[in-house]
Structure 1
Amino acid sequence: MGSTNNNNNNNKQLEALINKVIKVNQGGPNSRVGKLLAVNSDFITLLTKPDGVLYYNLDHVKSFATNVSEETDLEIDELNEVDCHRAESFQSLLNSLKYQWVQINRGPDKAEGVVNEITNELITLVHNKEVIRVYTFHINNISIGNKPKKDKDDNDGDQKDKDDKNKDDKNKDDKNKDDKKSKESEKS
């Protein structure tokens, strides 16, 4: 009973910071600076520059800081209703994400893919041919719809391969010309 009361006090402190810039967690890959958009029973919604809208599971928020020195020029007006999912709890947020692209956590523990299945204990993602199961308890934060530009990267990779091949061909042509000049010089 004491922990519920404590959560309510913490939520009230956070609610006072809505629309203000805060830093969630003090370091590490899951630390972010952004505008606090909403405080729910067990998660918060944060608008960040690198990730867009992030949903933080309050069970994993170790600290939050105000009067953050890092500047952000994020405009809340730019968000539309689709950008910001509303839910009563973190579990109901997860349940609403079926068939959407998500990124879970940041840093070395990140997982990303299309949500295929959600239970109270696991969320199943599909990324290419890989099936990834993440225990919901270990989800620090989640963002929605940030599918990587893999197709663009692949095309860039193809372009790089073409550029490398063109350079190799040019180098071969230059070498052939040099060899031809050497042979002509030897004949003289």
Structure 2
Amino acid sequence: MNIEQTPIKDLVILTPKVFEDSRGYFFEAYNQEKFEANGITYRFIQDNQSFSTRGVIRGLHLQINPFAQAKLVRVLQGEILDVAVDLRKSSPTYGQHFSVVLSANNKKQLMVPPGFAHGFSVLSDTASVMYKVDQLYNKDSERGIRFDDATLNIDWKVAPKEIIVSDKDVILPSFNQIDWTFE
């Protein structure tokens, strides 16, 4: 497995070693021993899966402490632009975001540590996304930031007329309105 550090500390891209033959392919999507050997020590306790159509933007979502979640994100079918925003107040990259295309074809995964807002846009006709988390969902700790926040200025790679966002995500605060941070 290749582990690539992004410009934001602790946010990494994982690309598995894929074994292909006439039958198809095989790869390890998660191997706790290999992850730990590379400093990724989260104890994942739940898998979540979503299905979305082209133009859907989910996010930016997070949970605050003590229920902040690490997420290991991958795509089972289709293609997404996966986005993480650093909300760790003491980080030199606070308020910066990173994006990467994850797809069923490239088999890459994004390891999003606690202290980040996370979201994605669907670039293919449909996409199935699966992610592991190390904390259970806690409604009272759920937070988010508007996908179209002017300060963050994220290019979701979706034409404005194609964007589909939930009613819940449309009313999220802007980055400058958030009153919670991670240390």
Instruction: Return the index of the structure with the highest Cα Rg.
Output: 1
More helix by share: 1
Q: Give 1 or 2: higher strand fraction.
A: 2
Tell me the TM-score normalized by structure 2.
0.24
Which structure exhibits the higher relative contact order, with contacts defined as CA atoms closer than 8 Å and separated by 6 or more residues?
Answer: 2
TM-score where L is the length of structure 1: 0.23
